[in-house]
Structure 1
């Protein structure tokens, strides 16, 4: 299968999605009273605070916005295959439904992708279902 979206673009999405997922806020010190945390400790913990590094989310969103509607639908369909909603053999059906989602509004399709748990892994699994891989492409291995 030759995807509509260039493989290097799909791999860039996976790389950025990994960075995006790594920004999830941590409950590391959920048991401590926030009023009793000293400034040095608070600064160390805020490294994981996801509102510090919004640039990764913005870049990922921009990549999605730059895709054509068919390409965006393809990314959604790859994710559905990767999470097991569809089998690779049901690709045409997955693409049809994904195109319906995108026609309903690209912003809702992008939001669905950004809200996808483990987006990088799911997209990578979807690509693997078609023997596509990011191995050897850019910084993704």
Structure 2
């Protein structure tokens, strides 16, 4: 990537993005709760209940916390990256997407992002639009 492209590159720490991406993938994979009063021993059932979205879900809480821990600029960059990933903008429209994310920023970014189905996929597609692969960083967090 040359210096002319750096103005069009999301200014967000890729390790933070990788962590959010991993949590978003886990959150996206969850299903609706089938048995709300799950009383079985988790180890006996091979921890199958982690695939269901219970109200006290640690995956959701960790994802929200990671997004809330981002500063204002990073949150705006993440939202713009998601928008590019879902096709609302393309990489050449980065500045436009970022300006719109900044104009619409609220204190509810985590709630907004976690309400987007396929959030993990959109983050990954957004990074891909900038020819960024974070597989090496992901591997370090597994």
Provide TM-score, normalisation by structure 1. 0.78
Cα RMSD (Å): 2.6
Superposed displacement of residue 72, structure 1? 0.3
Structure 1 unaligned regions, length at least 5: 28-33
1:66 & 1:21 partners in 2: Cα distance?
20
Which structure 2 residues correspond to residues 61-140 of structure 1 after superposition, within 5 A? 61-102=64-105, 105-107=106-108, 109-139=109-139
Which of 7, 10, 13 pairs up with 2:20? 13
1:41-68 Cα distance to aligned partner (Å, 9 max, x none): xx96x72431166111111101111101
Q: Contact 1:81–1:87 (CA<8 Å) still a contact in 2?
A: yes
| Off by >3 Å, runs of 4+ in structure 1 | none
Superposed displacement of residue 101, structure 1? 1.9
1:61-81 Cα distance to aligned partner (Å, 9 max, x none): 011111011100100000000
Superposed displacement of residue 4, structure 1? 1.9
Superposed displacement of residue 26, structure 1? 6.1
Q: Contact 1:69–1:106 (CA<8 Å) still a contact in 2?
A: no
1:4 & 1:78 partners in 2: Cα distance?
10
Superposed displacement of residue 135, structure 1? 1.7
1:20-45 Cα distance to aligned partner (Å, 9 max, x none): 11222167xxxxxx9xxxx88xx96x
Which stretch shifts more, 49-58 or 112-121?
49-58
Mapped pair 1:51 → 2:60: no
How many residues were matched structurally? 126
Q: Contact 2:84–2:90 (CA<8 Å) still a contact in 1?
A: yes
1:91 & 1:110 partners in 2: Cα distance?
21
In our comparison, the structure showing a higher alpha carbon Rg is: 1
